[in-house]
Amino acid sequence: MNKFFVKITNFFAMDSENSIFYKIKRLIPSKQNVLGQFLRYFVTGGLAFVVDFGAFALALYYFDIHYLISNLIGLMAGNVVNYLLSIGWVFSSEKRKMEKHVFWEVVIFVLISLFGMGLNELLMYVFVGVLAIQEMVSKVGAAIIVLLYNFFARKYILFKKQDVKKVNDE
């Protein structure tokens, strides 16, 4: 039984060569270029979307909450995951523009998120309420559009290139 837990721990450990995260990390280009960052953000967005989509579906189908409110619940849960991974993994090779003013950094991150949520809500309204597209299909379309907005907004508003020539690429 103890060997089972060791195998599971190694599967998820960041530094183990057998880890799923290590294998994903090896496939993604350097986080010092936009493509590497976007691919990392895509993985981050994917994880955040799973949380978002799961919370949305749970609220919509299990608790029978209106689709727009369910959408907000999912978005909030996904944004927590997105913030933590964006700061710690996606843009960690770049200097945070406001690292000495963490409060304002979080405020701006939240404002970017709120604008993204508003855009997502607008898209959901248009897709479902106006175009009569099924809710789950609409959610996927809105998420793709908002993913692109969030990546570029966060990258160019909150982060700047490091002055150091070589940054440790974990």
Strand blocks (E) in 11-57? none
pTM exceeds 0.85 for this model: no
Q: What is the pLDDT of residues 31-69, one digit of tens each?
A: 667 788 888 888 888 888 899 999 999 999 999 999 999
Q: What is the pLDDT of residues 71-119, one digit of tens each?
A: 889 988 888 788 778 877 777 666 777 777 778 887 888 899 889 989 9
Query: Nearest to residue 114, comparing CAs of 148, 146, 158, 90?
Result: 146
* Token representation of residue 78: 């996904």
Per-residue pLDDT, averaged over 141-169, amounts to 75
Provide DSSP, 108-128.
Answer: HHHHHHHHHHHHHHHHHIIII
* Token representation of residue 59: 């609220």
Per-residue pLDDT, averaged over 117-135, amounts to 94
Cβ atoms within 10 Å, residue 2: 6
